[in-house]
Amino acid sequence: MIATDTLGRPLRDLRISVTDRCNFRCTYCMPKEVFGHDYEFLRRDALLTFEEITRLARVFAAHGVEKIRLTGGEPLLRRDVDRLVGMLAEIPGLDLTLTTNGSLLPQKAAALAAAGLRRVTVSLDSLDDDVFRAMNDVDFPVERVLEGIDAAATAGLRPVKVNMVVKRGVNDDSVVDMARRFHGSGHIVRFIEFMDVGHTNGWRLDDVVPAAEIVEMIARELPLEPVEANYPGEVARRWRYRDGGGEIGVIASVTQPFCGACTRARLSADGKLYTCLFAVRGHDLRALLRAGANDNDLAEAIAGTWSRRADRYSELRTAETAALPKVEMSYIGG
Ligand code: SAM
């Protein structure tokens, strides 16, 4: 069992980025001016192979990780990702999930479920087609993401969680619509405060719509009551509709930071281990793997990194920290 970090937090969750590429150019995440035609994405041989990912996942699982989420970039762009899911699904006791923009779910949901994926989270920032097309900046229609959500539910990847990042003046008008649309559907919408991840998204505190305001907007139309967390350290705060229409979550990492309960590490597509979403530097596990390290060496490297962990970025955030050269979310894995 890996020891706790310097703030007494155990390692329980791992997000694995399987690619730094995406077919969307969400203006707040991979703005076209930065991630344009000449942007140098990771080369194929820089990416961890499925065998390397699975080997690391086994070491993490043997040392306390209970939940793995595949992400990116857009994880469904990684060729044969369902084969990776199948390999990870063989690790006993792991809760295996994936976060996607939904665009490829109609073709891939059934194969992912058959390979052993349990659930998916689908990102969707507005039901207003004009707003959504402008935000994804590749003119992708809402309707096709909704088809992806349906395909996931039909394949049994339920409940589908739907992530909406709320940015003031951009899509805050869409909050109540989103709540209404999924009320009673069995799916769970999670409203996320816009964060200062990376250093290319031009984040300003004024762009953040506080979670309390989001809950108030929704509750005015669809009365809500708070629900206990499913488990300690759950990132989303849960609210349920008083009329029995299901629940929503709000992720308030700016206005109500949850660093104290953060048990999450991230593995980039090229095998660097990061102990915070807002990190500047990672620990190169690929170098160890490719130098012939055995599982003990890998476990020691992971334990060493974790035991030195002191990150609590969201509790310390200021306008100055927002400008730090933090790694991009598309690279480290959202
Ligand atoms: N491509 C996949 C997707 O769209 O879900 C997975 C990667 S994406 C980086 C993961 C999540 O991070 C998405 O829900 C996205 O909206 C969210 N995200 C990206 N930048 C963000 C930011 N600055 N603040 C809050 N959430 C952000």
At residue 245, what is the residue type? Answer: G
The number of the ligand 1 atom at minimal distance from the alpha carbon of 22 is 1
Residue 19 CB–ligand 1 contact under 6 Å: no
* Residue identifier of the C-alpha nearest atom 17 of ligand 1: 334
Residue 101 CB–ligand 1 contact under 6 Å: yes
- Please choose from 81, 123, 196 the residue to mutate so as to test ligand 1's pocket, defined by most ligand atoms within 8 A of CB: 123
Mark the ranges of the chain whose per-residue pLDDT is less than 70: 1-2
**CB of 24 closer than 8 Å to CB of 103:** yes
pLDDT of res. 87: 98
The number of the ligand 1 atom at minimal distance from the alpha carbon of 29 is 20
The number of the ligand 1 atom at minimal distance from the alpha carbon of 253 is 25
Question: Is the preceding omega at residue 159 within 30 degrees of 0, hence cis?
Answer: yes
Q: How far apart are CA 78 and CA 55, in angstroms?
A: 18
- Please choose from 165, 171, 266 the residue to mutate so as to test ligand 1's pocket, defined by most ligand atoms within 8 A of CB: 165
Residue 174 CB–ligand 1 contact under 6 Å: no
Residue 192 CB–ligand 1 contact under 6 Å: yes
Q: How far apart are CA 145 and CA 161, in angstroms?
A: 13
- DSSP at 48: P
Q: How far apart are CA 147 and CA 35, in angstroms?
A: 27
pLDDT tens readout for residues 270-322: 999 999 999 989 999 999 999 999 999 999 999 999 999 999 989 888 877 88
Gap from CA of 264 to ligand 1 centroid (Å): 16
The number of the ligand 1 atom at minimal distance from the alpha carbon of 196 is 23
At residue 8, what is the residue type? Answer: G
Q: How far apart are CA 229 and CA 239, in angstroms?
A: 10
For 191, the token pair is: 């409203």
Where helices occur in the chain by DSSP H, the ranges are: 50-62, 81-89, 105-115, 129-136, 142-154, 175-182, 211-221, 285-290, 295-307, 313-316, 319-322, 329-332
With CA atoms as reference, report the closest residue to 151 among 109, 192, 89, 102.
109
Instruction: Indicate the burial class of 146 (C-beta count within 10 angstroms; 0-12, 13-18, 19 or more).
Output: middle
Residue 163 CB–ligand 1 contact under 6 Å: yes
Chain centre distance of CA 60: 18
pLDDT of res. 289: 98
pLDDT of res. 332: 87
Residue 120 CB–ligand 1 contact under 6 Å: no
pTM for the predicted model, two decimal places: 0.96
* Residue identifier of the C-alpha nearest atom 9 of ligand 1: 334
Helix (H, G, I), strand (E, B) or coil at 21: coil
Say what angle helices 105-115 and 81-89 make with each other, to 10 degrees. Answer: 20
Gap from CA of 74 to ligand 1 centroid (Å): 10
Residue 197 CB–ligand 1 contact under 6 Å: yes
Residue 74 CB–ligand 1 contact under 6 Å: yes
Helix (H, G, I), strand (E, B) or coil at 60: helix
pLDDT of res. 262: 93
The number of the ligand 1 atom at minimal distance from the alpha carbon of 194 is 24
Furthest-apart CA pair in the chain: how many Å? 59
pLDDT of res. 62: 95
Residue 103 CB–ligand 1 contact under 6 Å: no
With CA atoms as reference, report the closest residue to 126 among 27, 23, 210.
27
Q: How far apart are CA 257 and CA 239, in angstroms?
A: 18
The number of the ligand 1 atom at minimal distance from the alpha carbon of 125 is 16
* Residue identifier of the C-alpha nearest atom 8 of ligand 1: 334
The number of the ligand 1 atom at minimal distance from the alpha carbon of 163 is 14
Number of other residues whose CB lies within 10 A of the CB of residue 91 = 17
Q: How far apart are CA 21 and CA 72, in angstroms?
A: 7
pLDDT tens readout for residues 221-257: 999 999 998 887 788 999 999 999 999 999 999 999 8
Residue 17 CB–ligand 1 contact under 6 Å: no
Q: What is the pairing mode between strands 188-193 and 95-100?
A: unpaired
CA neighbours closer than 13 Å in the CB half-sphere of residue 205: 9
Q: How far apart are CA 10 and CA 57, in angstroms?
A: 16
pLDDT of res. 1: 59
What Cα–Cα distance (Å) separates residue 299 from each residue in 177, 296, 305? 46, 5, 10
